[in-house]
Amino acid sequence: MGSVHEVIVDLGERSYPIRIGSGVLAEVGTWLARQPGAPQVLIVTNEAVNSRWGEALRSSIKAAGLAVETVAIADGEEHKNLATLSMLYDRAIAMRLERSATVLALGGGIVGDVAGFFAATYMRGTGFVQVPTTLLAQVDSSVGGKTAVNHQAGKNLIGAFYQPQAVFIDTDTLSTLPKREVAAGYAEVVKTAMLGDAELFQLLERDQEKLLALDPAVVATVVARCCAVKARVVGADERERGLRALLNLGHTFGHAVEALTEYRRYKHGEAVAIGLVAACRLAETVLGLNRAVTERVTLLLTAAGLPVSFPCFARSAWSGALQLDKKVAHGNVLFVLVRAIGDCVLSRQIPLENAIDVIMELQEKSS
């Protein structure tokens, strides 16, 4: 095993380590065996990930003397719903999974969000460990304890805050990830740099190609920096009373894109990419953000092949979708605005019409 980065999410007695590096998957069994009472272990994954990385994880667990079961859920955002969750409850009950069990989420953000909500609710809460295998899950979704499924009307509308007890990020797992998924994860990297790490943004401007080609040293550095930003924000505001909403940069727009296109046309990261450009444009109009910032962000995203234009829907459809955001309070939508690279602010003062104007301006030109 090469060098391992460790980041701690500091939440008092619920603090947990994030282990980042090549070969970290092999540590999972030993970690589990150190937990009190040799837990039953359930891996929640999907077939695409299971066929590539399931055996390596199971070997580590079995070598530590523990029994392990695996359940695969269907692949795709359109299956991140209550039906999938219901299937998991049925399978867990049939296999007599006990509350003392540990659920391992092996996969991308969808597996992580669904498995996490399952772990939070099955018998009122089992153990939970994240083993993320997409760039997006490694830089963002495996950390911080947001778990959820979608409702047809809106993203992540049914969920819970439920922190993992540990996160094992084996960067080797990215070797089998399709290019489109690498790019989607990259959008959350750009987001993280924009909201909290200006040096990371410069690193991306310099080493973007190396990151997208999954150069091991660049990947490890970028994943560790993103986890450090997320750990800092989550440690300060676990339940999104305020500051944590910064991690939602681009998402007020992005989630509306996903819901209106029925979770089928865009990967989450792609919808976020569109949202990031919109958040910059909105900041240009209401904060006087320099257009050059929007251009730098757009360049990073388009160079990775990410979309930066909205699909075409009527103003009324955008209005309805934006108002279903979980950050809405007393009917006012909360927007995350870019003040400068590495520095974002929250505002509830933006008229919804201004945001919809930006969407209209950035809508795809129909051919």
Ligand X SMILES: NC(=O)c1ccc[n+]([C@@H]2O[C@H](COP(=O)([O-])OP(=O)(O)OC[C@H]3O[C@@H](n4cnc5c(N)ncnc54)[C@H](O)[C@@H]3O)[C@@H](O)[C@H]2O)c1
Ligand Y SMILES: O=C(O)C(=O)C[C@@H](O)[C@H](O)[C@H](O)COP(=O)(O)O
Residue numbers belonging to the annotated binding site: 75-80, 133-134, 146, 155, 173-176, 188, 251, 268
The reply to whether 144 sits near ligand Y by the rule CB under 6 A is yes
The reply to whether 251 sits near ligand X by the rule CB under 6 A is no
Given ligand Y, ligand X, none, residue 77, with its beta carbon under 5 to 8 Å by kind, binds ligand X
Annotated binding-site ranges for Zn(2+): 188, 251, 268
Q: In what order do the strands lie in the sheet with 102-107?
A: 5-9, 16-21, 166-170, 127-132, 102-107, 41-46, 68-73
Q: Which of 7, 184, 259, 289 binds ligand X (CB under 6 A)?
A: 184
Minimum CB separation from ligand Y for residue 161, in Å? 9
The reply to whether 130 sits near ligand Y by the rule CB under 6 A is no
In the bound state with ligand X, the residue whose beta carbon lies nearer, of 66 and 260, is 260
The reply to whether 28 sits near ligand X by the rule CB under 6 A is no
The reply to whether 164 sits near ligand X by the rule CB under 6 A is no
d(CA 178, CA 233): 30
Given ligand Y, ligand X, none, residue 238, with its beta carbon under 5 to 8 Å by kind, binds none
Minimum CB separation from ligand X for residue 291, in Å? 28
Q: Is the dihedral of CA 202, 294, 240, 270 positive or negative?
A: negative
Greatest extent of the chain over all pairs of C-alpha atoms, in Å = 62
Tokens at 296, concatenated: 């730098």
Q: Of 43-51, 56-64, 194-202, 217-225, which segment contacts ligand X by CB under 6 A?
A: 43-51
Among 130, 127, 131, 161, which Cα is nearest to 145's? 161
Count of residues touching ligand X (by CB under 6 A): 29
In the bound state with ligand Y, the residue whose beta carbon lies nearer, of 149 and 359, is 149
Report the SS3 class of residue 18. strand
In the bound state with ligand X, the residue whose beta carbon lies nearer, of 47 and 90, is 47
Residue with nearest beta carbon to ligand Y: 156
In the bound state with ligand X, the residue whose beta carbon lies nearer, of 5 and 255, is 255
Report the run of H or E that residue 284 belongs to, with start and end.
helix 268-287
The reply to whether 326 sits near ligand Y by the rule CB under 6 A is yes
**Active site positions, annotated:** 124, 146, 188, 230, 240, 244, 248, 251, 255, 268
Given ligand Y, ligand X, none, residue 46, with its beta carbon under 5 to 8 Å by kind, binds ligand X
Q: Is the dihedral of CA 89, 95, 99, 100 positive or negative?
A: negative
Q: Is the dihedral of CA 151, 157, 161, 165 positive or negative?
A: positive
Q: How wide is the angle at C-alpha 64 spanned by C-alphas 62 and 69, nearest 5°?
A: 35
16-21/41-46 β-pairing: unpaired
Q: Kindly provide the b/e burial profile for residues 5-26, where b requires at least 16 CB atoms within 10 angstroms of the residue's own CB.
A: bebebeeeeeebebbbbbebbe
Q: Across-strand partners of 175? A: none
The reply to whether 269 sits near ligand X by the rule CB under 6 A is yes
The reply to whether 244 sits near ligand Y by the rule CB under 6 A is yes
The reply to whether 80 sits near ligand Y by the rule CB under 6 A is no
d(CA 215, CA 152): 38
Q: Of 142-150, 193-201, 301-309, 339-347, which segment contacts ligand Y by CB under 6 A?
A: 142-150
98 neighbors 127 (Cβ within 8 angstroms): no
Residues that bind ligand X (CB under 6 A): 46, 48-49, 52, 75, 77, 80, 107-111, 113, 133-134, 136-137, 140-141, 144, 146, 173, 176-177, 181, 184, 267-269
Residues that bind ligand Y (CB under 6 A): 140, 144, 146, 148, 155-156, 188, 244, 247-248, 251, 326
